[in-house]
Amino acid sequence: MHDHYHRRSKDLPLAEQGFVIRLVVRRFICGAADCPRRTFAEPFSRLAAPYARFTTRLNRALREWGLRWPGGPAAVRPAGLRRGRMTLLRRVMALPDPQ
């Protein structure tokens, strides 16, 4: 192990309260001489994408909510999913175009 750093990701609400997952991410040194990367961090690809602030579950929920209520009123959103309309719009715009 070379080093570590702390990472925070917002997740789906728990009992209508915002929920943040705090992780300690370990960094490692590659011992192979021909390795193109000298150091690397352990991946959490099932939990969140690299550099993401939200977990994949929360991103999916926001995307689905944005598809149901595009630019809809904030009062309609569940308590833990109260994000700005631009956050919802960015999740919908990130979807691939339909065939």
Q: pLDDT digits over 28-63, tens only?
A: 888 888 888 788 888 888 899 888 889 999 888 888
Say which amino acid occupies 15: A
Residue with tokens 């994949």: 56
How far is the C-alpha of 60 from the C-alpha of 80, rounded, in Å? 14
pTM: 0.73
Q: Which of 53, 54, 81, 50 is nearest to 65 (CA)?
A: 81
Looking at residue 6, its pLDDT comes to 92
pLDDT tens for 13-26 read 887 788 899 999 99
| CA 88 to chain CA centroid, nearest Å | 13
Three-state SS at 7:
strand
